[in-house]
Amino acid sequence: MPDANDCAAALLDEYTELLVMSGGDPFRGRVYGKAARAIAAYPHDVAGLSAAELVRIPGVGKSIAAKVAEITATGSFAELEELRTDIPDGVRRLTRIPALGPRRALQLYRELGVASPEQLREAIAAGRLNSLKGFGAKSAEKLLRGIELLESAGSRVLLNVAAQTAAAVIDAVKAAPGCLRIEAAGSLRRAAESVGDVDVLAAAADSAPLMAALTAMPEAVEVIAAGPAKTSVRTRAGLQVDLRVVPLDCWGAALQYFTGSQQHNVRIRELAVRRKLKLSEYGLFDAETGELIVSRTEEEVYRRLGLARIPPVLREDTGEIAARQPR
DNA sequence: GCCGTTTTCGGCCCGACTGTTTTCAGTCG
């Protein structure tokens, strides 16, 4: 993929983050993120394209085409530079802390002047978060832990390491009473080169014994979240493991959802919306009546959306959906 | 800001969990 595309995509992504942080129209922010992904996946060098050619890239309209042209010519664009002067780069780094998103990162900056993870640690130590609306004792504790995780930073691991973890989780959970089916999903099932976390999907009428089996694993040193539908733990090695449990009837829809990349799923769900349908991990439904249409197999879900089944490894939103739509 | 298998205007994926908020915003995937 051409360097110019990576460069333009990175700047548009940065602009997306800054837009989201500064409030404003959330849909506008999404558009830039979408365009950034399309440009990153675009096979031709954007630096050599005219405006008319740029707008042929899906998700790129006149306005973004002009910004890409400006990036090609100058290395950046005016609106981005303007936001950069408003929000220091360290504030963006704050959002790398787990559980700290754009809105609260900006709040920390605006109200306490905190402009980096290091400054956040100092602010917490000095008790300065106590006065901040929406930040309680638990938040402070969680943020400190998050900063530690950020600093130890082995964020993504190789596929084989994740596969070993998944195998251990599957062994432990499938022994729990009531486990009807279990399989690794997420980037592991897509066979991505590296994975950020381990996703495991299971089917059961009662999820409690399965969730208990996960949190009882000796490797699970921290419980990040624990609910009836989803439980997340962190392993000794710092790898996050998410276990999702659904009723057996939803297996296909759930596997479809928990396998696709975020972007693939958004695309597929948009396709559903355009057909007056609603897709979730629980099935494909009629948007108006809420009536269930299909949910048992992935093939049924894709077929009902007018698509041939897409192999897991391709579910990255890099053109695989258009390639399977009838012309 | 982009886009169209009713649309060139009015939408824009969907659900789970947490913390502090007593009804929901923020975050995540």
Q: How far is Cα of residue A246 from the mean position of the Cα atoms in its chain?
A: 20
CA-wise closest residue to A106 among A208, A21, A220, A181: A21
Helix (H) or strand (E) holding A16: helix A3-21
CATH of the domain at A35: 1.10.150.110
Regarding whether A232 and A163 lie in a shared domain, the answer is yes
Round to a whole number and report the distance in Å from the CA of A133 to the C1' of B21: 10
What would the mean pLDDT of A217-236 be, rounded to a whole number? 95
Give the residue from A42, A57, A86 where a domain finishes. Answer: A86
The answer to whether the C-beta of A177 is closer than 7 A to strand B is no
Give the residue from A120, A152, A184 where a domain finishes. Answer: A152
Give the residue from A117, A136, A152 where a domain finishes. Answer: A152
β-bridge partners, A170: none
CATH of the domain at A198: 3.30.460.10
The answer to whether the C-beta of A90 is closer than 7 A to strand B is no
Round to a whole number and report the distance in Å from the CA of A137 to the C1' of B19: 10
- The predicted pLDDT at position A145 comes to 92
Question: Nearest nucleotide by C1' from A197 CA?
Answer: B29
Regarding whether A94 and A82 lie in a shared domain, the answer is no
CA-wise closest residue to A270 among A22, A15, A5, A58: A58
CATH of the domain at A121: 1.10.150.20
Round to a whole number and report the distance in Å from the CA of A78 to the C1' of B10: 29
Regarding whether A163 and A148 lie in a shared domain, the answer is no
Question: Nearest nucleotide by C1' from A269 CA?
Answer: B13
Separation in Å, CA A316 to CA A37, A73, A256: 10, 30, 12
Round to a whole number and report the distance in Å from the CA of A102 to the C1' of B3: 27
Structure tokens at A48: 């050599």
The answer to whether the C-beta of A60 is closer than 7 A to strand B is yes
Q: pLDDT band for position A217 (50/70/90)?
A: very high
Regarding whether A36 and A50 lie in a shared domain, the answer is yes
Residue A269 DSSP class: H
User: What's the mean pLDDT when you consider all of chain A?
Assistant: 92
The answer to whether the C-beta of A134 is closer than 7 A to strand B is yes
What's at A164, amino acid-wise?
A: Q
- The predicted pLDDT at position A149 comes to 87
The answer to whether the C-beta of A229 is closer than 7 A to strand B is yes
How many independent structural domains does chain A possess?
4
Share of chain A above pLDDT 70, in %: 98
Q: What is the pLDDT of residues A164-181, one digit of tens each?
A: 999 999 999 999 999 999
Q: What is the pLDDT of residues A203-215, one digit of tens each?
A: 999 999 999 999 9
CATH of the domain at A270: 3.30.210.10
Round to a whole number and report the distance in Å from the CA of A262 to the C1' of B27: 15
Residue nearest to nucleotide B24 (CA to C1'): A134
**Domain coverage including residue A18:** 3-86
Q: What is the pLDDT of residues A90-120, one digit of tens each?
A: 999 999 999 999 999 999 999 999 999 999 9
Regarding whether A219 and A161 lie in a shared domain, the answer is yes
β-bridge partners, A233: A223, A241
d(CA A290, CA A42): 37
Round to a whole number and report the distance in Å from the CA of A136 to the C1' of B19: 8
Q: What is the pLDDT of residues A279-296, one digit of tens each?
A: 999 999 998 888 999 999
**What's the half-sphere exposure (Cβ side, CA atoms, 13 Å) at A67?**
22
User: Which nucleotides of strand B lie within 7 A of protein CB?
Assistant: 1-7, 11-21, 25-29
Chain A window 25-54: residues with CB closer than 7 Å to nucleic chain B are 25, 27-28, 30-32, 35
The answer to whether the C-beta of A110 is closer than 7 A to strand B is no
Regarding whether A271 and A240 lie in a shared domain, the answer is no
Q: What is the pLDDT of residues A126-146, one digit of tens each?
A: 999 988 989 999 999 999 999
Q: pLDDT band for position A87 (50/70/90)?
A: very high
d(CA A264, CA A280): 13
Q: At what angle do helices A62-74 and A3-21 cross, to 10 degrees?
A: 120
The answer to whether the C-beta of A265 is closer than 7 A to strand B is yes
- The predicted pLDDT at position A326 comes to 63
DSSP of A33-92, one letter per residue?
HHHHHHHHH-SS-GGG--HHHHTTSTT--HHHHHHHHHHHHHSS-HHHHHHHHHS-HHHH
β-bridge partners, A285: A278, A292
- The predicted pLDDT at position A3 comes to 86
Round to a whole number and report the distance in Å from the CA of A32 to the C1' of B9: 20
Give 3-state DSSP helix, strand, coil % of chain A, rounded to 5: 55, 15, 30
d(CA A273, CA A82): 36
Separation in Å, CA A245 to CA A207, A217, A269, A282: 6, 17, 21, 11
Phi, psi dihedrals of residue A222, rounded to the nearest 5°? -145, 135
